[in-house]
Structure 1
Amino acid sequence: MTEHIWDDLLTERDRQVIKKAGYDEAGASSWDSRGLGTDPLVLVIDVQRLVVGEDEPILDAIEDYRTAMGEIAWDAIEEIGPFLDFAREHGLPVAYTRVVPTSYDDPDHEDLDIVETVAPEPGETVIDKSYASAFYGTDLLSRLVRGSHDSVIIVGNSTSGCVRATSIDAQQNGFDVILPQECLFDRIEASHKVALLDLWMKYAEVLERDEVETYVEEITE
């Protein structure tokens, strides 16, 4: 059984509501909000230098980049890297997004680079975006349809921002969403936990990384 990271935030009444309303078993009642699919694409969201920064406490990291998350990001990258290796070994396609802020005149600025530890391999797609959702103003939907994918496994950041927006748009476009919780990060711990709780209740399957890997093994064997 998944040990969800938001459990320590829930009151006893919260737990009762989740159980009595059936969110723990079926998610949202208005649509099929949770599923795993059989042909996923792995989407790595915005793991870039200006977001990651140096491997140091976040309060030090933001001295160089106000958006940097420091060791919070690096802790997740330690999980993302091996997961991407595992996904590739099992034949799953991997795609990336880069956020290109309007404050940057040069889209090739080194600040916008995906960090080398989890950088794309040759031939893997990198989608530039200007807003939170990886679907807005991009060709991601077309790529998923052309590839006959029925689901996305999302890793990266930030849980309460771009991950949340992309997950909701994916679900609303008919794709199952899988979130390996150790492979996601956010600068505010409360935002990270609450966003994952909300996504799990309404839009996505939130699992531990090893559970996602077991699922990948099952669909690729």
Structure 2
Amino acid sequence: MGFGERPALVVIDLARSWLDDESPQGSSRLEPVLHNTIELLQVARKHDCPVFFTTMAFTPWETVGPYGRKMLHLGERGSLEAGSKMVELDPRLERRPEEPLLVKPRASAFWGTPFDTYLIGRNIDTLIVTGCSTSGCIRATAESAHNLNFRTIVVREAVGDRSPMAHEVNLTDIDLRYADVVGLEETIAYLEGRATR
């Protein structure tokens, strides 16, 4: 698909629940993903590219039924409990007040949030996706963005998963079906080049 003219960057779920060794979900070993995302954030901010963040959080009434039973880890020591420290973004991301934080109840950043209206309101045509997890929230967000007719870019070095195999398999499938999986350097060059046009 290639890059368009009006990009936005979304950082998916780089919160304590996925990054903290004390998380009930277990360590994701996502430090390289976090650092590469921070590098992209610096470039995006320098060139006035809109930035969005997501986290996943639930109140008890949101986990009733089959979905809640499948997500058994939700109740473990506040892993994804609304208001808990675990759903807070990593402070190294340095989220700014003008950068929306979407609290999503499902894997896709679009499901149950106003994300699409925010993008449409800013005339965005290209969504650059970073964060975790490749096999879950990254894939779901890429699929939703594709279905909504956005050019969708997943940055290979800025996404990650607990399972290396799931990460690689899903990157291949995302690239075949929903998005362009692009390297960090190429994405930075696009953002820098766009600024000079």
TM-score, scaled to structure 2:
0.86
Classify the secondary structure of the residue corresponding to 2:17.
helix
Provide Cα deviations, 1:133-155, integer angstroms capped at 9, x if missing partner: 11111100111111100110010
Measure how far apart 1:106 and its partner are.
5.6
Measure how far apart 1:181 and its partner are.
0.6
Structure 1 runs not aligned, ≥5 long: 1-33, 54-60
CA distance in 1, matches of 2:187, 2:18: 25
Question: Which residue of 102, 111, 126 corresponds with 1:151?
Answer: 126
* Letter of the 2:183 counterpart: E
Question: Which residue of 127, 133, 136 corresponds with 2:108?
Answer: 133
Provide Cα deviations, 1:71-112, integer angstroms capped at 9, x if missing partner: x21121121111111111011011101100444596221111
Provide Cα deviations, 1:32-85, integer angstroms capped at 9, x if missing partner: xx23111011000000101111xxxxxxx3xx2232434x21121121111111
CA distance in 1, matches of 2:26, 2:81: 19
CA distance in 1, matches of 2:103, 2:181: 26
Are 1:38 and 2:8 counterparts? no
* Letter of the 1:152 counterpart: L
Aligned to 1:8: none
Q: How many residues of Structure 1 are paired with residues of Structure 2 in the alignment?
A: 178
Q: 8 Å contact 2:157–2:184 — kept in the other structure?
A: yes
Aligned to 1:115: 90
* Alignment RMSD: 1.5
Classify the secondary structure of the residue corresponding to 1:154.
strand
Q: 8 Å contact 1:35–1:204 — kept in the other structure?
A: no
CA distance in 1, matches of 2:171, 2:56: 21
Is the alpha carbon distance of 1:123 and 1:68 closer, same or farther for their aligned partners in structure 2, counting shifts above 3 Å?
farther
Are 1:161 and 2:136 counterparts? yes
* Letter of the 1:211 counterpart: E
CA distance in 2, matches of 1:106, 1:161: 19
CA distance in 1, matches of 2:122, 2:40: 21
Are 1:67 and 2:67 counterparts? no
TM-score, scaled to structure 1:
0.77
Classify the secondary structure of the residue corresponding to 1:42.
strand
